[in-house]
Homo-oligomer: A and B are copies of this chain.
Amino acid sequence: MKEVKPLHRVEIKTTEKKYQGVLLERPALADKKYIVLKLDNGYNIGLEKKKIKSIRDLGSVKAGKHTKPGRENKGDKPHVSVIATGGTIASRVDYLTGGVHSAFSAQELISAVPELKSIADIRGKQLYNKFSENIQPGDWVSIAKSVARELDDKALGVVVTHGTDTLGYTAAALAFMLKTPVPVVLTGAQRSSDRGSSDAALNLIHSVKTAAESKYPGVCVVMHANLSDDISLIHNPARVRKMHSSRRDAFQSVNCAPLGRVSEKEIILHQEYTPRVNKPELNTKINEAVSLIKYHPGLKPQVIDYLVDSGYEGIVLEGTGLGHTSERLFDSIKAGTDSGILFCMSSQTLNGRVNMNVYSTGRVLIDCGVIPCADMLPETALVKLMWVLGQTKNRKKAAEMMLTDYVGEISDKSHIKDDLSVFES
Protein backbone atom coordinates (compact mmCIF):
# COMPACT_ATOMS: atom_id res chain seq x y z
CA MET A 1 0.00 0.00 0.00
CA LYS A 2 1.22 3.48 -0.79
CA GLU A 3 2.21 5.31 2.39
CA VAL A 4 0.16 8.40 3.18
CA LYS A 5 0.84 10.36 6.34
CA PRO A 6 -1.75 10.43 9.11
CA LEU A 7 -3.90 13.56 9.26
CA HIS A 8 -3.97 13.81 5.49
CA ARG A 9 -7.30 13.85 3.73
CA VAL A 10 -7.52 10.85 1.40
CA GLU A 11 -9.75 9.17 -1.11
CA ILE A 12 -9.53 5.40 -0.79
CA LYS A 13 -10.83 2.84 -3.25
CA THR A 14 -11.19 -0.67 -1.86
CA THR A 15 -12.26 -3.80 -3.67
CA GLU A 16 -15.78 -2.97 -2.45
CA LYS A 17 -16.27 0.77 -2.11
CA LYS A 18 -14.87 4.30 -2.25
CA TYR A 19 -14.27 6.41 0.87
CA GLN A 20 -13.19 9.97 1.63
CA GLY A 21 -11.96 11.06 5.03
CA VAL A 22 -9.01 11.87 7.21
CA LEU A 23 -6.42 9.15 7.80
CA LEU A 24 -5.96 8.78 11.56
CA GLU A 25 -2.97 7.74 13.57
CA ARG A 26 -3.37 4.11 14.59
CA PRO A 27 -4.63 3.60 18.14
CA ALA A 28 -1.96 1.89 20.28
CA LEU A 29 -3.61 -1.52 20.07
CA ALA A 30 -4.79 -1.48 16.48
CA ASP A 31 -3.78 -4.16 14.05
CA LYS A 32 -1.13 -3.13 11.55
CA LYS A 33 -3.10 -4.71 8.77
CA TYR A 34 -5.76 -2.02 9.01
CA ILE A 35 -5.84 1.71 8.60
CA VAL A 36 -8.38 3.90 10.35
CA LEU A 37 -10.28 6.58 8.49
CA LYS A 38 -12.36 9.36 10.04
CA LEU A 39 -15.34 9.81 7.72
CA ASP A 40 -17.04 13.17 7.24
CA ASN A 41 -20.00 12.00 9.35
CA GLY A 42 -17.62 11.72 12.29
CA TYR A 43 -17.42 7.93 12.44
CA ASN A 44 -14.18 6.00 12.23
CA ILE A 45 -13.91 2.94 10.04
CA GLY A 46 -11.15 0.38 9.75
CA LEU A 47 -10.10 -0.67 6.26
CA GLU A 48 -8.05 -3.78 5.66
CA LYS A 49 -4.90 -2.77 3.81
CA LYS A 50 -4.96 -5.74 1.48
CA LYS A 51 -8.41 -4.77 0.22
CA ILE A 52 -7.26 -1.25 -0.70
CA LYS A 53 -6.82 -0.72 -4.41
CA SER A 54 -5.73 2.92 -4.39
CA ILE A 55 -5.19 5.87 -2.07
CA ARG A 56 -5.25 9.44 -3.32
CA ASP A 57 -3.58 11.96 -1.03
CA LEU A 58 -5.77 15.08 -0.89
CA GLY A 59 -3.25 16.95 1.25
CA SER A 60 -2.63 17.69 4.90
CA VAL A 61 -5.59 18.68 7.06
CA LYS A 62 -5.14 22.40 7.43
CA ALA A 63 -4.65 23.83 10.87
CA GLY A 64 -6.41 27.03 9.82
CA LYS A 65 -9.68 25.17 9.50
CA HIS A 66 -9.52 24.38 13.19
CA THR A 67 -8.51 27.68 14.67
CA LYS A 68 -10.83 30.45 15.73
CA PRO A 69 -11.95 32.84 12.97
CA GLY A 70 -10.27 36.21 12.72
CA ARG A 71 -7.21 35.21 14.68
CA GLU A 72 -4.88 35.17 11.72
CA ASN A 73 -5.74 38.67 10.56
CA LYS A 74 -5.81 40.47 13.86
CA GLY A 75 -2.90 41.43 16.07
CA ASP A 76 -4.83 41.20 19.33
CA LYS A 77 -4.25 38.20 21.52
CA PRO A 78 -7.13 36.23 23.03
CA HIS A 79 -7.77 36.27 26.72
CA VAL A 80 -6.92 32.88 28.28
CA SER A 81 -7.28 32.08 31.97
CA VAL A 82 -4.94 29.62 33.63
CA ILE A 83 -6.47 28.10 36.77
CA ALA A 84 -3.87 26.36 38.93
CA THR A 85 -4.93 23.52 41.24
CA GLY A 86 -1.48 22.12 42.10
CA GLY A 87 0.38 19.00 41.06
CA THR A 88 3.82 18.34 39.63
CA ILE A 89 3.43 21.08 37.04
CA ALA A 90 3.64 23.57 39.93
CA SER A 91 6.34 21.67 41.84
CA ARG A 92 10.07 21.44 42.11
CA VAL A 93 12.52 18.92 43.51
CA ASP A 94 13.81 19.55 47.01
CA TYR A 95 17.45 18.58 46.56
CA LEU A 96 17.89 18.00 50.28
CA THR A 97 15.24 15.29 50.56
CA GLY A 98 14.96 14.26 46.91
CA GLY A 99 11.21 14.75 47.23
CA VAL A 100 8.98 16.96 45.10
CA HIS A 101 7.14 19.89 46.67
CA SER A 102 4.55 22.39 45.60
CA ALA A 103 6.47 25.53 44.75
CA PHE A 104 4.88 27.73 42.12
CA SER A 105 1.76 29.84 42.13
CA ALA A 106 -0.27 30.29 38.95
CA GLN A 107 1.48 33.61 38.38
CA GLU A 108 4.97 32.16 38.88
CA LEU A 109 4.12 29.28 36.58
CA ILE A 110 3.03 31.67 33.83
CA SER A 111 6.05 33.96 34.32
CA ALA A 112 8.39 30.97 34.09
CA VAL A 113 7.24 30.23 30.53
CA PRO A 114 7.77 33.45 28.51
CA GLU A 115 6.53 31.79 25.30
CA LEU A 116 2.98 32.02 26.66
CA LYS A 117 2.91 35.78 26.19
CA SER A 118 3.17 35.51 22.44
CA ILE A 119 0.16 33.18 22.33
CA ALA A 120 -2.36 34.86 24.59
CA ASP A 121 -3.07 37.48 27.20
CA ILE A 122 -2.96 35.31 30.27
CA ARG A 123 -4.87 35.72 33.50
CA GLY A 124 -3.61 33.44 36.30
CA LYS A 125 -5.88 32.15 39.07
CA GLN A 126 -4.71 30.08 42.00
CA LEU A 127 -7.65 27.90 43.02
CA TYR A 128 -5.63 25.79 45.43
CA ASN A 129 -2.45 23.79 45.58
CA LYS A 130 -3.22 20.09 45.92
CA PHE A 131 -1.60 16.95 44.71
CA SER A 132 -4.28 15.34 42.58
CA GLU A 133 -4.50 12.16 44.67
CA ASN A 134 -6.20 14.44 47.20
CA ILE A 135 -8.70 15.90 44.72
CA GLN A 136 -12.21 14.79 45.69
CA PRO A 137 -15.57 15.03 43.87
CA GLY A 138 -16.28 18.28 45.74
CA ASP A 139 -13.15 19.74 44.11
CA TRP A 140 -14.52 18.91 40.67
CA VAL A 141 -17.44 21.17 41.52
CA SER A 142 -15.22 24.07 42.62
CA ILE A 143 -12.98 23.68 39.57
CA ALA A 144 -16.02 23.66 37.25
CA LYS A 145 -17.42 26.78 38.93
CA SER A 146 -14.05 28.50 38.73
CA VAL A 147 -13.82 27.72 35.00
CA ALA A 148 -17.36 29.02 34.45
CA ARG A 149 -16.47 32.27 36.26
CA GLU A 150 -13.50 32.81 33.94
CA LEU A 151 -15.65 32.12 30.89
CA ASP A 152 -18.30 34.54 32.17
CA ASP A 153 -15.47 37.03 32.63
CA LYS A 154 -14.79 36.87 28.87
CA ALA A 155 -11.95 34.32 28.73
CA LEU A 156 -11.83 32.90 25.21
CA GLY A 157 -10.39 29.69 26.57
CA VAL A 158 -9.37 28.25 29.94
CA VAL A 159 -6.45 26.05 30.97
CA VAL A 160 -6.65 24.09 34.24
CA THR A 161 -3.32 22.85 35.58
CA HIS A 162 -3.75 19.71 37.67
CA GLY A 163 -1.77 16.81 39.10
CA THR A 164 -1.65 13.90 36.69
CA ASP A 165 -2.68 11.12 39.12
CA THR A 166 -6.41 11.81 38.93
CA LEU A 167 -6.43 14.25 36.00
CA GLY A 168 -8.49 11.80 33.94
CA TYR A 169 -11.24 11.63 36.58
CA THR A 170 -11.41 15.44 36.88
CA ALA A 171 -11.45 15.83 33.10
CA ALA A 172 -14.44 13.48 32.82
CA ALA A 173 -16.22 15.29 35.66
CA LEU A 174 -15.73 18.73 34.08
CA ALA A 175 -16.95 17.36 30.75
CA PHE A 176 -20.25 16.22 32.29
CA MET A 177 -20.64 19.34 34.47
CA LEU A 178 -19.79 22.03 31.97
CA LYS A 179 -21.01 22.79 28.46
CA THR A 180 -18.85 25.41 26.82
CA PRO A 181 -18.56 26.89 23.31
CA VAL A 182 -14.80 27.43 23.74
CA PRO A 183 -11.91 25.16 24.75
CA VAL A 184 -11.34 24.23 28.40
CA VAL A 185 -8.04 22.38 28.56
CA LEU A 186 -6.74 20.26 31.41
CA THR A 187 -3.02 19.68 31.59
CA GLY A 188 -0.29 18.65 34.01
CA ALA A 189 3.27 17.42 34.07
CA GLN A 190 4.88 14.08 34.82
CA ARG A 191 8.24 15.70 35.70
CA SER A 192 8.73 18.87 37.70
CA SER A 193 9.97 21.93 35.89
CA ASP A 194 13.48 21.89 37.37
CA ARG A 195 14.28 18.54 35.79
CA GLY A 196 15.93 18.41 32.41
CA SER A 197 13.25 16.07 31.11
CA SER A 198 10.36 18.18 32.41
CA ASP A 199 7.22 18.25 30.32
CA ALA A 200 5.76 21.17 32.28
CA ALA A 201 6.60 24.01 29.87
CA LEU A 202 5.61 22.21 26.66
CA ASN A 203 2.34 20.93 28.09
CA LEU A 204 1.50 24.43 29.27
CA ILE A 205 2.43 26.08 25.97
CA HIS A 206 0.41 23.59 23.93
CA SER A 207 -2.53 23.83 26.31
CA VAL A 208 -2.60 27.63 26.16
CA LYS A 209 -2.28 27.44 22.38
CA THR A 210 -5.22 25.03 22.23
CA ALA A 211 -7.28 27.22 24.57
CA ALA A 212 -6.43 30.38 22.60
CA GLU A 213 -6.60 29.17 19.05
CA SER A 214 -8.52 25.93 18.59
CA LYS A 215 -12.17 25.69 17.67
CA TYR A 216 -12.75 22.69 19.94
CA PRO A 217 -15.90 23.55 21.91
CA GLY A 218 -15.57 21.70 25.19
CA VAL A 219 -13.37 20.13 27.81
CA CYS A 220 -10.26 18.30 26.65
CA VAL A 221 -6.89 17.08 27.91
CA VAL A 222 -3.62 18.18 26.28
CA MET A 223 -0.49 16.20 27.20
CA HIS A 224 2.83 15.07 25.67
CA ALA A 225 2.36 12.79 22.66
CA ASN A 226 5.71 11.01 22.90
CA LEU A 227 9.14 11.41 24.37
CA SER A 228 10.10 14.16 21.94
CA ASP A 229 9.43 17.71 22.97
CA ASP A 230 7.46 18.80 19.94
CA ILE A 231 3.96 17.34 19.84
CA SER A 232 1.08 17.03 22.29
CA LEU A 233 -2.14 15.12 21.82
CA ILE A 234 -5.63 16.45 22.43
CA HIS A 235 -7.70 13.81 24.22
CA ASN A 236 -11.41 13.37 24.82
CA PRO A 237 -11.80 14.08 28.56
CA ALA A 238 -13.90 10.96 29.13
CA ARG A 239 -11.69 8.59 27.11
CA VAL A 240 -8.25 9.45 28.45
CA ARG A 241 -6.31 7.50 31.04
CA LYS A 242 -2.92 7.75 32.70
CA MET A 243 -1.38 4.54 31.39
CA HIS A 244 2.15 4.78 32.82
CA SER A 245 3.36 5.80 36.26
CA SER A 246 6.27 7.96 35.09
CA ARG A 247 6.55 8.42 31.35
CA ARG A 248 5.76 11.80 29.84
CA ASP A 249 3.53 10.20 27.22
CA ALA A 250 1.52 8.44 29.93
CA PHE A 251 -1.85 9.83 28.85
CA GLN A 252 -3.55 7.80 26.18
CA SER A 253 -6.95 7.79 24.58
CA VAL A 254 -8.57 4.40 25.15
CA ASN A 255 -11.04 2.87 22.70
CA CYS A 256 -10.71 5.82 20.32
CA ALA A 257 -8.10 7.90 18.57
CA PRO A 258 -7.05 11.21 20.14
CA LEU A 259 -9.16 14.21 19.08
CA GLY A 260 -6.16 15.93 17.54
CA ARG A 261 -2.64 17.16 18.04
CA VAL A 262 -0.79 20.37 18.79
CA SER A 263 2.66 21.46 17.71
CA GLU A 264 4.34 24.85 17.77
CA LYS A 265 3.20 25.31 14.16
CA GLU A 266 -0.39 24.17 14.24
CA ILE A 267 -3.39 22.59 15.86
CA ILE A 268 -5.02 19.74 13.99
CA LEU A 269 -8.42 18.39 14.98
CA HIS A 270 -9.57 15.15 13.38
CA GLN A 271 -13.03 16.51 12.80
CA GLU A 272 -14.97 19.76 12.97
CA TYR A 273 -17.15 20.33 15.99
CA THR A 274 -20.38 22.22 16.43
CA PRO A 275 -20.64 23.82 19.87
CA ARG A 276 -23.41 22.31 22.03
CA VAL A 277 -24.13 25.74 23.52
CA ASN A 278 -23.64 29.44 22.74
CA LYS A 279 -22.63 30.35 26.26
CA PRO A 280 -21.30 28.26 29.16
CA GLU A 281 -23.80 26.10 31.04
CA LEU A 282 -22.94 24.67 34.42
CA ASN A 283 -24.55 21.64 36.04
CA THR A 284 -22.47 20.55 38.99
CA LYS A 285 -24.99 18.50 40.94
CA ILE A 286 -23.39 15.20 41.89
CA ASN A 287 -24.11 12.35 44.27
CA GLU A 288 -21.06 11.10 46.13
CA ALA A 289 -22.72 7.92 47.42
CA VAL A 290 -21.08 6.01 44.57
CA SER A 291 -18.16 3.61 44.63
CA LEU A 292 -16.22 1.29 42.35
CA ILE A 293 -15.40 -2.35 42.99
CA LYS A 294 -12.80 -4.11 40.91
CA TYR A 295 -13.75 -7.77 40.70
CA HIS A 296 -11.06 -10.33 41.49
CA PRO A 297 -11.05 -14.03 42.31
CA GLY A 298 -11.65 -14.30 46.04
CA LEU A 299 -13.79 -11.13 46.20
CA LYS A 300 -16.41 -11.83 48.84
CA PRO A 301 -20.09 -10.93 48.38
CA GLN A 302 -20.00 -9.30 51.83
CA VAL A 303 -18.06 -6.38 50.29
CA ILE A 304 -21.11 -5.67 48.11
CA ASP A 305 -23.42 -6.19 51.10
CA TYR A 306 -21.37 -3.67 53.08
CA LEU A 307 -21.78 -0.98 50.39
CA VAL A 308 -25.49 -1.79 50.02
CA ASP A 309 -26.01 -1.54 53.77
CA SER A 310 -23.95 1.66 54.03
CA GLY A 311 -26.29 3.77 51.94
CA TYR A 312 -24.45 3.82 48.62
CA GLU A 313 -26.75 4.61 45.72
CA GLY A 314 -24.56 3.58 42.80
CA ILE A 315 -21.82 0.99 42.35
CA VAL A 316 -19.57 0.59 39.31
CA LEU A 317 -18.35 -2.96 38.91
CA GLU A 318 -15.03 -3.25 37.11
CA GLY A 319 -15.71 -6.78 35.95
CA THR A 320 -13.75 -9.26 33.87
CA GLY A 321 -13.79 -9.66 30.09
CA LEU A 322 -17.11 -8.81 28.48
CA GLY A 323 -18.55 -7.69 31.83
CA HIS A 324 -18.62 -10.55 34.31
CA THR A 325 -18.27 -11.32 38.00
CA SER A 326 -18.33 -14.58 39.86
CA GLU A 327 -21.78 -16.08 40.31
CA ARG A 328 -21.24 -15.92 44.06
CA LEU A 329 -21.91 -12.17 43.92
CA PHE A 330 -25.26 -12.53 42.14
CA ASP A 331 -27.46 -12.67 45.27
CA SER A 332 -25.80 -9.60 46.78
CA ILE A 333 -26.06 -7.64 43.55
CA LYS A 334 -29.72 -8.64 43.17
CA ALA A 335 -30.43 -7.59 46.76
CA GLY A 336 -28.69 -4.28 46.03
CA THR A 337 -30.68 -3.50 42.89
CA ASP A 338 -33.87 -4.59 44.65
CA SER A 339 -33.17 -1.95 47.27
CA GLY A 340 -32.73 0.70 44.55
CA ILE A 341 -28.97 0.78 44.02
CA LEU A 342 -27.78 1.23 40.44
CA PHE A 343 -25.05 -1.24 39.45
CA CYS A 344 -23.08 -0.43 36.29
CA MET A 345 -20.67 -2.82 34.56
CA SER A 346 -17.37 -1.85 32.96
CA SER A 347 -14.37 -4.05 32.17
CA GLN A 348 -10.94 -4.30 33.75
CA THR A 349 -9.56 -5.05 30.29
CA LEU A 350 -10.01 -1.27 29.70
CA ASN A 351 -9.92 -1.82 25.94
CA GLY A 352 -12.95 -3.15 24.13
CA ARG A 353 -16.55 -3.05 25.25
CA VAL A 354 -18.70 -5.03 27.63
CA ASN A 355 -21.25 -7.30 26.00
CA MET A 356 -23.37 -9.07 28.55
CA ASN A 357 -25.45 -11.05 26.08
CA VAL A 358 -22.75 -13.52 25.04
CA TYR A 359 -22.40 -15.65 28.18
CA SER A 360 -24.93 -16.79 30.75
CA THR A 361 -22.99 -14.87 33.43
CA GLY A 362 -23.67 -11.57 31.67
CA ARG A 363 -27.32 -12.41 31.03
CA VAL A 364 -27.91 -13.26 34.68
CA LEU A 365 -26.23 -10.00 35.72
CA ILE A 366 -28.52 -8.07 33.37
CA ASP A 367 -31.46 -9.91 34.94
CA CYS A 368 -30.11 -8.74 38.31
CA GLY A 369 -30.47 -5.17 37.03
CA VAL A 370 -26.84 -4.43 36.13
CA ILE A 371 -26.37 -1.76 33.41
CA PRO A 372 -23.76 -2.74 30.78
CA CYS A 373 -21.67 0.40 30.15
CA ALA A 374 -20.63 -0.37 26.55
CA ASP A 375 -17.08 0.88 25.96
CA MET A 376 -16.94 3.42 28.80
CA LEU A 377 -13.79 3.41 30.90
CA PRO A 378 -14.43 2.21 34.47
CA GLU A 379 -13.20 5.57 35.81
CA THR A 380 -15.54 7.46 33.47
CA ALA A 381 -18.46 5.21 34.44
CA LEU A 382 -17.76 6.07 38.10
CA VAL A 383 -17.64 9.84 37.50
CA LYS A 384 -20.68 9.73 35.24
CA LEU A 385 -22.69 7.69 37.74
CA MET A 386 -21.97 10.33 40.43
CA TRP A 387 -23.15 13.02 38.02
CA VAL A 388 -26.19 11.08 36.77
CA LEU A 389 -27.37 10.31 40.32
CA GLY A 390 -26.96 14.01 41.06
CA GLN A 391 -29.39 14.76 38.20
CA THR A 392 -32.16 12.30 38.99
CA LYS A 393 -33.41 10.06 41.77
CA ASN A 394 -35.37 7.98 39.26
CA ARG A 395 -33.52 4.72 38.76
CA LYS A 396 -34.89 4.04 35.28
CA LYS A 397 -34.06 7.56 34.11
CA ALA A 398 -30.58 7.22 35.63
CA ALA A 399 -30.02 3.94 33.78
CA GLU A 400 -31.07 5.60 30.52
CA MET A 401 -28.72 8.50 31.17
CA MET A 402 -25.82 6.10 31.85
CA LEU A 403 -26.33 4.71 28.34
CA THR A 404 -26.74 8.12 26.69
CA ASP A 405 -23.62 9.57 25.11
CA TYR A 406 -23.06 13.09 26.45
CA VAL A 407 -19.46 13.94 25.59
CA GLY A 408 -18.21 11.06 23.44
CA GLU A 409 -17.71 8.78 26.45
CA ILE A 410 -19.64 5.96 24.84
CA SER A 411 -19.91 4.76 21.25
CA ASP A 412 -23.29 4.32 19.69
CA LYS A 413 -24.44 1.24 17.89
CA SER A 414 -23.37 2.29 14.43
CA HIS A 415 -20.01 3.22 15.84
CA ILE A 416 -19.71 -0.22 17.37
CA LYS A 417 -19.94 -1.86 14.00
CA ASP A 418 -17.26 0.41 12.60
CA ASP A 419 -15.05 -0.14 15.61
CA LEU A 420 -15.40 -3.84 15.28
CA SER A 421 -14.50 -3.83 11.62
CA VAL A 422 -11.04 -2.73 12.70
CA PHE A 423 -10.56 -5.36 15.28
CA GLU A 424 -12.60 -8.40 14.45
CA SER A 425 -12.58 -10.83 11.63
On A, residues with C-beta under 8 Å from B are 28-29, 31-33, 98-101, 131-137, 139-140, 164-166, 169-170, 196-197, 226-228, 242-247, 249-250, 288, 290-300, 302-303, 306-307, 310, 318-328, 347-355, 357-361, 363, 379, 382, 386, 423-425
**Chain B contacts of A321 at CB under 8 A?**
133, 164-165, 242, 245
**In the complex, residue of chain B having the shortest beta-carbon distance to the beta carbon of A88:** B359
- The contact of A349 among B135, B245, B318, B424, by CB within 8 Å, is B245
Could you write out 6 A-B pairs with CB less than 8 Å apart?
A134-B327, A137-B297, A227-B423, A244-B352, A245-B321, A298-B382
Q: Which residue of chain B has its CB nearest to the CB of A382? A: B296
8 closest Cβ contacts across the A-B interface? Answer: A245-B352, A165-B320, A133-B324, A165-B321, A244-B351, A244-B352, A294-B294, A197-B425
Once the chains are docked, how many angstroms separate the CA of A35 from the CA of B247?
A: 17
Choose among B101, B226, B245, B302 the residue that contacts A360 (Cβ–Cβ < 8 A). Answer: B101
User: Is the CB–CB distance between B353 and A245 below 8 Å?
Assistant: yes
**Chain B neighbourhood of A348, CB < 8 A:** 242
Tell me the complex Cα distance, A177–B29, Å: 32
Choose one: B136, B363, B382; the contact of A99 (CB below 8 Å). B363
**Considering only CB atoms, which chain B residue lies closest to A318 in the complex?**
B294
Given the known A-B contacts A166-B297, A227-B31, are A350 and B243 also in contact in the complex, defined by CB atoms under 8 Å? Answer: yes
Instruction: Tell me the smallest distance from the CB of A360 to a CB of chain B, in Å.
Output: 6
In the bound complex, residues from chain B placing their C-beta under 8 Å from that of A424 are: 197, 246-247
Among candidates B33, B98, B131, B246, residue contacting A352 with C-beta atoms closer than 8 Å: B246
Other contacts beyond A165-B324, A303-B307: 4, CB < 8 A? A245-B323, A245-B349, A246-B352, A298-B382
Question: Do residues A303 and B324 form an inter-chain contact, with CB atoms below 8 A?
Answer: no
Which residues in B have their C-beta under 8 angstroms from that of A328?
134, 136
- Chain B residue numbers with a CB within 8 Å of A99 are 357-360, 363
Q: Is the CB of A349 within 8 A of B298?
A: no
Q: Which residues of B contact A358 (CB under 8 A)?
A: 98-100
A302–B310 touching, CB < 8 Å: yes
Complex CA–CA separation, A228 to B310 (angstroms): 49
From A298, A306, A350, residue with most partner B Cβ within 10 Å:
A298
Interface contact A291-B302, CB-CB below 8 Å: no
